[in-house]
Structure formats: C-alpha cells, structure tokens
Structure 1
Amino acid sequence: MNKHHLLSIVLASSFAGPVYAQSESSVVSAAELAQLKAQISELKAKLAEIEEQTDAITSTVVVHSQTLAAQETVETAPVAEPEDGITVGGAIRTNYSHTSYSEGNKDRGGDFDFDIFRLNLRGDIGDVSLNGEIRFFDYMTAIKYAYVGYRFNQNWQVNAGITKVPFGNSPYNSQNYFFSTNYYLGLEDDFDLGVVFKRSVADNWQLDLGFFKNDELGGIDGYVDNRSDRYSYDIVGARALGEGIYDEPAQALAEYNTFSGRYAYHFKQGELAAELGVSALSGGLHDGVHRAGDYQAWALHVNSQYRNWHLQLQHSEYRYDIDQVDRIAVGAYSFYDSIAAEATSTTLNVAYDLAVNFGAVTGLQFYNNYGVVYDKSDASSNTVMNVTGVSVAAGGLFTYFDWVHAKNQPFVGGSGAGGSGDYEQRFNINIGYYF
C-alpha cells in the first residue's frame, strides 16, 4: 500500500469530526488550530514508526526466504564424484657400484650404469581401480604387477591379476636398495598371478587372504623365452647332483595353487606404534606332467615406530618338499641362482628419519639392515648380509647410499647356495628420478 494513501486514510478517520464542525460553523479559534497541528505531528510520528516496523518485517522475511532457498540449493546440488581416469608415472634410475669381488671394477674405480626405466599406471574407471608397473632393463623387460581392484565396502577390497603375495612385514622388510635376504628366497615383495581379499585396518586388526594359480610368468607352461626374466624370485627347477649353481635347471619346476594369509594386529601406546603379525603360505610344485611336491613358509613379524625411530623384526622358515632334492633353482633379473630346499631366516632392521631443509633435500633416512639365512638343508654356509646406508629425498630425486657387507649373498659376489667363509663388500649409489 502506498505510504501517502495510508496517511490520508489515517488523517481522514482521525479528523472527520473536527473538520466537519469547521465546515458547519466556519469558525475555528487559534487554540483549536494549534491543537490540530499537534495531533497531526503526533500521527505523522506514529505513522513513521509503523512504516519502519513494516520495512523491518519485510526485510526479515526476504532474507529468511533467500536463506531457505540457498540451503535448498546446497542440499539438492549433486555431490561431485571423483573423475575417472588413469594417471601415468614412473622412474628413471642409474646405479654406481664399487666392489671388492671384481678386480676389473676396482681397477676402474667402480662402474656407473643405467638401472631401469619404469612406467606406472594407476587410476579408477567407475568402481574398478587399475594398478600396473612395467620395468625396462638393458637385458630384459619385466612386469612387476598388473591388477584390477574393487572395493566392496569401507573395510574390504579385492585385487586380481599379478598382485602381491601377502607375507611378512609390509610393504617391505627392509629400508635399503637391496631389500633383505628374504627377497632372494621369494619371501619379500613377491608378485604372482592370483586374487587377494584385503581387509583394511579396523578394530586394530587387518587380514589378507590370497589364492595364486601360478607365478607371474604363467607357471610351468608359461609362454616365455626365459623363465628367469622376472622381477620376483620364484622356483624354476630342481638342482640335480653335479649341476652348477648358476646353470639353467635341467628339471623344470614351478609353483601352483598357492594359498597365502597374513594377519596383523596394530596398537598404539603414547608415541609408540607397532604392528604384530603372522604369515603363512602353502602350495604345490609341478614338473609339467605331474605334481612333483609342495612347499610351505611361515613368519612372525614386528614393524614398529617410536618418534623418528623404526624397528623391524622377522623370523621366517620355508620348505620345498621334493623327493631327494636338497637344493632348488630360482630365477630373477635374467639370472639363475640356487638356494637350499629348506632353511630359516632372521632379519633385524633399524632406521631413523631426519627432516632437513638443505636446498632441494627435504628428508634423510639412516638405516642398518641385517639378515641371516641358516639351518640350510643342502649343508651350504650361512648367507649373511648387512647394509648400512642413508636414503635422500630431494624433490623428484630419491637416492640410496649403501655399504653392503655380505657373504654367500647374490649380487654381492656370492650365491644363496655358496660355501664361502669370506665377506665381500659393495659400495652402491642408486639415483632415481620419480615422476
């Protein structure tokens, strides 16, 4: 309603009597006129107050209506879903080594070589995730892993393809470039073809259950040119008497139908966090025609951290049960080696994290990793490896500086089935750019 129209109505209703009297008598005294002016001023003031209250109420209603509309828009707006897509990453690595077991290497002051070029794929398409890594060496190409995953709910997911065998301290039982002695037994960072059901940490415990049809190269009848062209160590044959420890085995063997399980309990007390776990696996061995035997392994493991300190412990035992065979052939990195058919392994790792601000360098990790393989069924000498070193993080660069002191250790002048009592040394620098 128009404000001036409202004022006219109020004045008309308030002064109808006096105005009518004025028209009848046509006589108005000065006192009566002054009184009328006072009443008019009072009514104008009241009208202004009413208008202010009306404007306030109207403004409140408008603001409230706008707020409700905004809330409704937010509540009904669609939730942004993560975009589908595959991310490509990778690394380029080079390696320098100076060794005690190669006279030529010592005479040259060490050797600097290309290590690997690798590509990583990771992403999601719909509810299915993809993970893959392929590695290119001078002497071979190898797929480390390639699997798809699906998450059933907040706690459970499944991975299928060339995926990691759940066993031992995770993700690694080491901090150095060479891993631990377990890696060369096929008991660390091993990948095979199968399916793994994973339960995330909930109520302080987690569980991984896996079934692997065969190794990553298709088992005993896999269509490959060289069964040692692989990233993970696996059995490739039985060693006959008189056969060289580095020879291609005359009797081929491969694992199949392997079940693996890993249970871990997590707890935290103050600044101490720890994971206590147990792992086990069991599977069959095949010669291409018949079942030739079976194999088993188990481990107890601890992975803990107190402030910047890390401590890892693991005790493992394995056995390849094949009639009249005390030594088996294993393969990896386009290289055949030998290990005892049965042995025990113990590892102890200590590490310290140090955050720094020195140019591009942002983090250092100092470590000492020790491992020993003993009680071997082939009566060969113990395998011992101690690695003291530091890793350096600097942007996309990640570098390992390792001093290795070992005997009967692959890639440090020995074999897992060696009989040497002498220790060898290797100073190694591995420089990687990760993208």
Structure 2
Amino acid sequence: MLPLILWSAVCLAQYPEDKPEEKPYLKLGGAVRFNYNLSTWKEDQLERGGDFGFDLFRINAEAEYKGIKLNAEYRFYSEAFGGHFLKQGWFQYDFSDQSQIQVGLHQVPFGIQQYNSNNWFFNMTYYVGFEDDHDMGIKYIHDSGRWQWQAAYYKSAEDFVFSSQEPSPNRYSYDVTGRNKENNQLDFKLVRRLGDSLAHELGFSLQGGLLYNLDTERNGTRHAGAIHYEYKTNHSPWNVKLQAMLYRFDPKYAAGNNLNFIEMGAYGANYNVANKGEIYTLGVAYHIPVNTRLLQGVDIYNNYGYYNKRVSGYENAHMNVLGALFTAGPMYIYTDAAFGYNHPWLGPEWANAFTTGTPGDTRWHMRFNINMGYYF
C-alpha cells in the first residue's frame, strides 16, 4: 500500500492539476475637453471677449493577455486642428519588474519625461519636436531604481500613409514634414536618481537619424543632445525641471533651396524651424492640497523656454507660461497666461516665427487660456 501512495505522489508532482486559465484584461478610458482662449494680437477676438469651444475627445485602451500588453490612445480634434489620429499605440512585453520592450508608436526617450513642462501649452521643446514626441519603432527600458536607461530605434515618425508624398501634419507631436521625412533614428537616454528618496533625477539624452529628401532622393542627417535635471517626490510639494539641449538638421536639399530652415508640422499645419539651435528651459511648480468635496488640489507653476537659433539673421524666441492646475475629481482645469516672443502659437507670425521672426517689430504677445477636461 505504501509504495502505491508514494507512486501516486510522484505522479501528482510530475503532472499537477491544470492552472486556472489566464483571463484577458481590458481597461477603457478617455477624456472630453473644452477650451476658452483670449489672444491679445487678435482684435476681433478681443471684441468678442474671447472664444469658448471644443478641444478634443479621446479614447484610451489598455489590455493584457498571456504577458503581452497593449497601450493605445486615439484622439479626435476639429478638422482645423488635424481631425482625428492615433496619438500613441504600442505592444509591450515585460522581461521582469525592471525591464520591458515596446513596439509601435511610443514616446521617444529624449529629455525630461513624460513632459518637460507643467502647463497645458508644454514648453518650447515641444514645438520643435523634442518634448512628448512619438515615433514608430522599438524601445527597450531598464529601470533598477537608482539607474534608468532607454535605447530605441525608430524607422519613421508618425507616418500614416506609406508613399513618397509629403508627410501629413495631421499628427499629435511635431515632426519634420514638407520635402523631408524622418527615418532610421537612434535614441539613448540615461538617468541617475540621487538622494534617499530618489527625488533628484540627473540625466542626458542623445539622438541621431536620417532625413530623406523627396526631391533629391538622398538622405541628410539630424542629431541632438540634452542634459536634464528634475526634482520630484511625493514628500515635497515642489517640482523643478531644468534642461539644456542643442540640435542640428542637415537635409540634402535640391540646388537653390534655402538651407537654413526645415519644415515641421502637427495639428494640421506646418511652419518653418531653424535648422540648428539651442533650447534652455526652466519649470517650477508647487502643489497645494485642498480637502473639499469639489476641489482636491491646486498646482501653481511657471515654465520658461529660451530658443537660441544659431543662424545669422534669425531672431531668437522666448516662451513663458504662468498658471495653475485645479484638480476636481475627474476634472483637470488648466488656467494659463502664455506669453510668446517669436512664437507661432503665441503671436501673429506663424510660418517664420521660428526662423526670421518679425525683425524690427517683434513684441511679446499673450494668450489667456482655460482648458477644462473630464477624464474617465
């Protein structure tokens, strides 16, 4: 009898009972946002007392099954701002708690992430393609607590049409458009966290890639580098962001074309950007907890960006956003006074604000903006 019991135990050890089948995980969310703005350079808008209207509707999806994860976000804007498009979407596999791989349309590992800003307008880095940029490729992330590094390869930017025609500006983040297309880009980012609470993040980022010109059918180059610091912790109400970066675009234009700028586009429109420059940014925010039924917190912030265009005859640009974020349950309300000097979104000059500017008549302009979003 005893040998039979032992034999049965061995068999059970070798052939355990079937584990419960893993169930698929799916989480859906999104947001609806409306926007009020009043711009000092728009006389007709001043007469109306500003405008209040639709900003966006978005759908978010997160899923997981058999160890494979999905993260996607689709956005709907008005036709004037590019209509609808995929903001992000990637497949993910976690090798461990410290390392993962992402494939698809995901955030480029460059500079302070997720945002180099605290406000609704982002900072100067966003408008030349170096903040919350999303491209098509593969990325590896390793995070051990004290150290984090990311390495990525991007075959292209947010290309939704596979042809030799000009890239569409109907996209979320700024990329090279016009007669050039981004391709074969490499990124590397390293972050070292300091202090007992790991509140100090010191890092550097490197980027290099190619620019395919549709006229010459030749590849030019692009490269950028940045050093950055951020202070953030749950134990302090302060958040501080510091970043210095430089970049250069060297497209292979056809003979006779202007070599001092390149086109970039997002939200349905292109503008010109100096082909080399430096950008310095500083952001400070302070969180005030509020314990009421309607309001749970207020974040006061100021974000400044200085854009030094390293092209003779091009005027430099400035951007400063002073504001507050109000958190009320599922609602986030950004109230910003955004000031611009040679800035396409914050002034009357659109196409050449980031190149020649408006020499001899440049002045500061202000856009007062309230963005109200319900996130679900």
Paired residue type of 1:356: V
Paired residue type of 1:433: Y
Where structure 1 has 5 or more consecutive residues not aligned to the other structure, the ranges are 1-75, 238-251
**Residue 152 of structure 2: aligned partner:** 210
The Cα shift of 1:153 comes to: 1.8
Where structure 2 has 5 or more consecutive residues not aligned to the other structure, the ranges are 1-15, 253-257
User: 2 CA distance for matches of 1:135 and 1:94?
Assistant: 14
- Specify which structure has the bigger relative contact order, considering alpha-carbon pairs within 8 angstroms and separated by 6 or more residues: 2
Q: Secondary structure at the match of 2:314?
A: coil
**Residue 106 of structure 2: aligned partner:** 163
Paired residue type of 1:133: E
User: 2 CA distance for matches of 1:80 and 1:314?
Assistant: 49
Task: Map 1:145-294 onto structure 2 (within 5 A).
Answer: 145-202=88-145, 204-218=146-160, 221=163, 227-237=168-178, 252-269=179-196, 273-288=199-214, 290-294=217-221
Task: Map 1:43-192 onto structure 2 (within 5 A).
Answer: 83-139=23-79, 140-192=83-135
Normalization by structure 2: what TM-score? Answer: 0.87
The Cα shift of 1:218 comes to: 4.9
**Residue 283 of structure 2: aligned partner:** 349
Q: Secondary structure at the match of 1:290?
A: coil
Q: Is the 8 A contact 1:390 1:402 kept in 2?
A: yes
Q: Is the 8 A contact 1:341 1:378 kept in 2?
A: no
Check if 1:315 corresponds to 2:249. Answer: no
Q: 1:88 to 1:346 in 2, by over 3 A?
A: same
Task: Map 1:281-430 onto structure 2 (within 5 A).
Answer: 281-288=207-214, 290-305=217-232, 307-322=236-251, 325-377=259-311, 379-413=313-347, 414=349, 415-417=353-355, 418-419=357-358, 420-430=361-371
User: 2 CA distance for matches of 1:272 and 1:151?
Assistant: 23
Q: Is the 8 A contact 2:212 2:251 kept in 1?
A: no
Name the count of aligned residue pairs: 343
Per-residue CA deviations over 1:163-221 (Å, capped at 9, x if unaligned) read 1110000111000000000000100000000000011234x100110000011115883
User: 2 CA distance for matches of 1:303 and 1:220?
Assistant: 38
Identity across matched positions, percent: 34
Per-residue CA deviations over 1:322-364 (Å, capped at 9, x if unaligned) read 3561111111000111110001000000000111013311011
User: 1 CA distance for matches of 2:198 and 2:222?
Assistant: 36
User: 2 CA distance for matches of 1:77 and 1:432?
Assistant: 49
User: 2 CA distance for matches of 1:79 and 1:273?
Assistant: 41
Q: 1:326 to 1:88 in 2, by over 3 A?
A: same
User: 1 CA distance for matches of 2:20 and 2:326?
Assistant: 38
The Cα shift of 1:291 comes to: 2.4
RMSD: 2.1
Q: Secondary structure at the match of 2:144?
A: strand
Structure whose CA Rg is larger: 1
The Cα shift of 1:376 comes to: 2.9
Check if 1:431 corresponds to 2:372. Answer: yes
Q: 1:367 to 1:119 in 2, by over 3 A?
A: same
**Residue 3 of structure 1: aligned partner:** none
Q: 1:82 to 1:348 in 2, by over 3 A?
A: farther
User: 1 CA distance for matches of 2:294 and 2:164?
Assistant: 46
User: 1 CA distance for matches of 2:165 and 2:59?
Assistant: 23
The Cα shift of 1:154 comes to: 2.3
Q: 1:83 to 1:385 in 2, by over 3 A?
A: same
**Residue 11 of structure 2: aligned partner:** none
Paired residue type of 1:341: N
Q: 1:290 to 1:311 in 2, by over 3 A?
A: same
Q: Is the 8 A contact 2:37 2:50 kept in 1?
A: yes
Q: Is the 8 A contact 1:165 1:190 kept in 2?
A: yes
Q: 1:112 to 1:210 in 2, by over 3 A?
A: same
Per-residue CA deviations over 1:43-62 (Å, capped at 9, x if unaligned) read xxxxxxxxxxxxxxxxxxxx
User: 2 CA distance for matches of 1:81 and 1:373?
Assistant: 55
Q: Secondary structure at the match of 1:171?
A: coil
Q: Is the 8 A contact 1:326 1:378 kept in 2?
A: no
Q: Is the 8 A contact 2:147 2:192 kept in 1?
A: yes
